Amino acid sequence: MTRASAGEPGADDGDSVVYDLDSDCTAEDVEKGQPYLAEINGIVDYGVFVDLSESVSGLVHESVLEGTFAVGDELVVELESVRDNGDMAFEPVDTEVDVDDLTLRNVSHDYALTGTDRLEANVGDQIHLEGEVVQVKQTAGPTIFHIADEYGVVPCAAFEEAGVRAYPSVEVGDVVRVTGTPEHREGTVQIEVDGLSKLDGDDAEAARERIETALESRSEPHDVEPLIDWPAFEKLRPNLRDVAKRLRRAVLEGRPVRVRHHADGDGMCAAVPVQVALEKFIADVHEDDDAPRHLIKRLPAKAPFYEMEDATRDLNFALEDREKHGQQLPLLLMLDNGSTAEDVPAYETLAHYDIPIIAVDHHHPDPDAVGDLLDAHVNPYLHDEDYRITTGMLCVELARMIYPDLTDELRHVPAVAGLSDRSKADAMDDYLQLAAEEGYDEDRLQDVSEALDYAAFWLRYDSGDQLIQDLLQVDGDEQRHGELVDFFAERAREEVDEQLEAATPHLEHEELDNGAHLYRIDVENYAHRFTYPAPGKTTGEIHDRKIEETGDPVITVGYGPDFAVLRSDGVRLDIPQMVSELEAEVPGGGVSGGGHLVVGSIKFVKGKREEVIEALVDKMEDAEIDEELSSAAPIDDD
């Protein structure tokens, strides 16, 4: 016999061609009127039974048989009939040439693939699916393989024994072929697996290429026009687009996303829209209803940098999720946070693992320190812009690039972000106008900002997902939003008033040589501790009142035993620069800190407090005064 290349039955191969089914071929691969090579596996009075493949066999009736046969003999047959019960009958084919001279043509099983986009229409029918394994979760019952193809991600349940890992050689990252039946399970579609095999060689290559091409195009962000016309923002738009693409790609690949954001108003205005956009995109991509809950986690960061405590906890959770739920390690998204040298130790910790890091921030960055550790870094300072483009403004556009349908929920958010951070951007007027069209006047936006701040304080290390969404009115209940904002904003203001009533009599005032007022307040001894407002906010509120009272340049320092919070208006400070000078000038001071240029915080050792603060005041005295007071500073209330 000659073996020819694989082909489809029915092609014009001449009389001497016989089709040889691969062992995994099914009855569907057999066509009437075509000759197939069969092997006799049993002989009975009324005929012989033949096998064409592992699952294709049937009877050749003795009435059509000539000669004698033995088990194991080869025979060329064609399909005669298929009964209702699926039983097949074959008859011998007269071949003009000797069996040994036949040309054999291989028939492989037709794995007509059903994409994850067509599961619903195929519920109850056996299908074939090819894709990449993105998660393998062992439950107390079956093993759940989450498989991503060109269209989405579907859970596939394979049962070996309760709690026993099915197909133990198949791992995350493998490309597999699944044969199984889509079934409804708790409202979603899951595939009950009949067979699952790892593809290799050309098959794997072809499948990977197909999936890669599809993911590359599906990860493309949407081209949305920014909510307002703003030339300064345009410079950052391509970078944001790149981040949107990386985030969409992570979702399509089933990689979890962990968001760490500064726990203030702007940070939440940044993180919540991105979180909601990703949740909605995840829900579209993944058949599993629980996927949004498992694949995105938003967490606040108290400091304006990535603290080691947060980083090690994030890493530990990620490794546990990999162990317990077979998840991939996450992508870390730092928002309103993550641009400075203080982030480096935390980033270096994660660099030991496959955890990509992206930062979108508007704090004064140190690109030399973090550049190599970040996979993408969006920051207005990298484009000769500054903090006035707040992270919330950036991330509303980022969220829209990921999931444009969210736009109507977000129109008021950039204004809240801008007011929270005291942005003096030209664009604020347009953003306020946009919010006004949604029914928010400036006072109301301030209420939302205060309420967010108040909630963030009490939530501490929790994200408070629904509560924050209700306060910000993104995918929230409108009436509850109104009442909750009223309640929280009022409580926040009352508590600030109480705090200031106690603290203000203890304010120390001096006039600096450069003409600025310096106010100092010992927030450790003359303010309530462990309650709202925290030292940063207390200092900020005092500062605001003094600006209003004096109309002059003002610097306010709120200090505790081992920290100081700085606020300034009308004075050109460079706090990150001052901090690095103090590190050198006060040996043993243990000075560290940073933040924005004119607003920030400094830490030091308790015993060196007087020295550090005196050195700090000297520097402030040397600072230039701004010609006009319009460059009011952003606020970080940490």
Is 174 a residue that touches Mn ion (CB under 5 A)?
A: no
Per CB under 5 A, which region of 114-122, 172-180, 389-397, 591-599 contacts Mn ion?
A: 389-397
Closest by Cα among 193, 10, 192 to 110: 10
Nearest distance, CB of residue 627 and Mn ion, angstroms: 26
Looking at the Cβ atoms of 114 and 423, the one nearer to Mn ion is: 423
Nearest distance, CB of residue 380 and Mn ion, angstroms: 11
d(CA 211, CA 220): 14
List 20, 421, 453, 569, residue binding Mn ion (CB under 5 A): 421
Looking at the Cβ atoms of 279 and 336, the one nearer to Mn ion is: 336
Is 638 a residue that touches Mn ion (CB under 5 A)?
A: no
Q: Supply 425's token pair.
A: 């951007």
Nearest distance, CB of residue 313 and Mn ion, angstroms: 23
What is the pattern of x (binds Mn ion, CB under 5 A) and - over residues 513-532? --------------------
Per CB under 5 A, which region of 77-85, 259-267, 471-479, 497-505 contacts Mn ion?
A: 259-267
Is 450 a residue that touches Mn ion (CB under 5 A)?
A: no
Is 78 a residue that touches Mn ion (CB under 5 A)?
A: no
Looking at the Cβ atoms of 266 and 447, the one nearer to Mn ion is: 266
Instruction: Please check whether residue 208 is in contact with residue 175, taking contact to mean a CB–CB distance below 8 angstroms.
Output: yes
Instruction: Please check whether residue 481 is in contact with residue 470, taking contact to mean a CB–CB distance below 8 angstroms.
Output: yes
Is 266 a residue that touches Mn ion (CB under 5 A)?
A: yes
d(CA 556, CA 503): 13
Residue with tokens 């940070």: 267
Looking at the Cβ atoms of 144 and 268, the one nearer to Mn ion is: 268
Long-range contacts of 614-617 (CB under 8 A, 24+ apart): 615/582, 615/585, 615/586, 616/557, 616/564, 616/566, 616/578, 616/582, 617/512, 617/518, 617/557
Nearest distance, CB of residue 568 and Mn ion, angstroms: 17
Give rounded-to-5 percent helix, strand, coil for the chain.
40, 25, 35
Per CB under 5 A, which region of 224-232, 384-392, 429-437, 623-631 contacts Mn ion?
A: 384-392
Looking at the Cβ atoms of 132 and 336, the one nearer to Mn ion is: 336
C-alpha triplet 576, 579, 583: angle, nearest 5°: 145
Per CB under 5 A, which region of 173-181, 278-286, 301-309, 413-421 contacts Mn ion?
A: 413-421
609-622 and 575-585 helices cross at what angle (nearest 10)?
A: 130
Instruction: Please check whether residue 633 is in contact with residue 420, taking contact to mean a CB–CB distance below 8 angstroms.
Output: no
Instruction: Please check whether residue 562 is in contact with residue 600, taking contact to mean a CB–CB distance below 8 angstroms.
Output: no
Looking at the Cβ atoms of 239 and 449, the one nearer to Mn ion is: 449
Is 336 a residue that touches Mn ion (CB under 5 A)?
A: yes
Taking CB atoms, the residue at the shortest distance from Mn ion is: 266
Closest by Cα among 353, 269, 341 to 305: 341
Q: Say if strands 175-185 and 127-138 run parallel, antiparallel, or are unpaired.
A: antiparallel
Nearest distance, CB of residue 417 and Mn ion, angstroms: 7
Nearest distance, CB of residue 362 and Mn ion, angstroms: 6
586 φ, ψ to 5°? Answer: -115, 85
Looking at the Cβ atoms of 252 and 471, the one nearer to Mn ion is: 471
d(CA 393, CA 304): 18
C-alpha to C-alpha distances, 401 to 167, 238, 379, 418, 628, nearest whole angstrom: 39, 11, 17, 20, 38
- Per DSSP (E only), the strands in 13-138 are 17-21, 36-44, 47-51, 57-61, 74-82, 88-92, 103-107, 127-138
Is 595 strand, coil or helix?
strand
Looking at the Cβ atoms of 266 and 569, the one nearer to Mn ion is: 266
Looking at the Cβ atoms of 343 and 421, the one nearer to Mn ion is: 421
Per CB under 5 A, which region of 266-274, 305-313, 344-352, 428-436 contacts Mn ion?
A: 266-274
Nearest distance, CB of residue 457 and Mn ion, angstroms: 16
Size of residue set near Mn ion by CB under 5 A: 4
State which of positions 584-613 bind Mn ion (CB under 5 A): none
Looking at the Cβ atoms of 252 and 419, the one nearer to Mn ion is: 419
Per CB under 5 A, which region of 369-377, 386-394, 468-476, 485-493 contacts Mn ion?
A: 386-394
Footprint on this chain of Mn ion (rule: CB under 5 A): 266, 336, 391, 421
